[in-house]
Amino acid sequence: MLSNQSCVNSANKSKEIQPREKEEETGPERLNRLRSEMAGKVWIPEIWGQEGLLKEWSDCTAFDRSMAPDRLLLSARRALVAEYLRTNSADLRIENRCS
């Protein structure tokens, strides 16, 4: 029994949480670290043979039909475009608040 107990205790000790040497890294930091670690080890093809599917995703009409049959999404998009055009067509005004 003692030998089994010592095995269990040693297994539990190995599973104990080790103190962290550094703070948790953010998503972009982790991605950059993974890129540098995998540089030269992983082959990424230039062409993957499914580029036609990307064209379907870039066409928003299928998305608009499936997500907003009542055209709310389209009217919101049109309103955003109109607001963008309106703000960019207006003259740039700089207010002088120093005087």
Separation between Cα atoms, residue 35 and residue 39, nearest integer Å: 6
Structural domain includes residue 63? yes
Mean pLDDT over each residue of the chain, to the nearest integer: 68
The parent domain of residue 61 ranges over 55-89
Q: Is residue 17 part of a domain?
A: no
Whether residue 75 is contained in a domain is answered as yes
Confidence category of residue 66, pLDDT binned at 50, 70, 90 = low
Give residue 37's pLDDT: 87
Average pLDDT over residues 30-35: 86
The pLDDT tens digits for 50-64 are 777 776 666 666 666
Count helices and strands (H / E) in the chain.
5, 0
pLDDT at site 26:
87
At 22, the amino acid letter reads K
The C-alpha torsion from 85 through 87 and 88 to 94, rounded to 10°, is 170
Q: What gap in Å lies between CA 85 and CA 99, rounded to an integer?
A: 32
pLDDT for 3? 45
CA distance 52 to 63: 16
Q: Is residue 83 domain-resident? A: yes
| Residue 28 covered by a domain | no
- As for how many domains the chain has, the answer is 1
